[in-house]
Amino acid sequence: MSRVILLLSGPNLDQLGSRSPEIYGSQTLEEHVARFSGEANDRGFSVRHVQSNFEGDLIEAVNGARDTAVAIVINAGALTHTSWALADALATFAGAKIEIHLSNPAAREPFRHVSTLAGVVDGSISGFGALSYDLALDAVARLLS
């Protein structure tokens, strides 16, 4: 049975493709997810993707992953900078946890310089556009090997 990676996408990531393409690129979320899932399948993982614009949905997905997933890869969108509740949920997940961003929040507005999630994940990957997803998959595979 293949091991499950929960891929989480937070608010407004459903708008990728048309949302600020100069910052986030022109690929849609579906394209990122399809690529990530395909590469994950090649490495023996299956992917469950949840996108929501609601904080509680993401928290419930994290809590539901506790006994079903071996890793969480999360782009929490702007909740990255505000959600201590999501951080608390992630802190209780024992598997591999990677925070990703398409852009480099540290090089942007000051409110993006804080991540509530950074302290409860194994590591953060930011600023590589679509490559951030590939690097996150590499990190998961290595952390679990």
In this structure, what token pair is assigned to residue 19? 């949302």
Applying CB under 6 A, the span of 25-33, 35-43, 49-57, 74-82 interacting with ligand DQA comes to 74-82
Q: Which is nearer to ligand DQA, 37 or 80 (CB)?
A: 80
> How crowded is residue 110: how many other Cβ atoms within 10 Å of its Cβ?
7
Residue 87 in the binding site for ligand DQA (CB under 6 A): no
Q: Which stretch binds ligand DQA (CB under 6 A): 30-38, 41-49, 70-78, 90-98?
A: 70-78
Residues 6+ apart with CB under 8 A from 72: 5, 6, 7, 8, 62, 65, 90, 93, 95, 96, 97, 98
Residue 58 tokens, joined: 């993401």
Near ligand DQA by CB under 6 A: residue from 71, 77, 86, 89: 77
73: nearest Cα among 57, 53, 54, 50 = 50
Residues designated as active site: 24, 101
**Dihedral of the CA atoms 62, 66, 71, 72 (nearest 10)?**
0
User: From the list 33, 70, 78, 120, which residue makes contact with ligand DQA (rule: CB under 6 A)?
Assistant: 78
Q: Smallest distance from the beta carbon of 138 to ligand DQA, in angstroms?
A: 18
Q: Does 49 bind ligand DQA (CB under 6 A)?
A: no
Residue numbers at the binding site for ligand DQA (CB under 6 A): 12, 75, 77-78, 80, 101-103, 105, 112
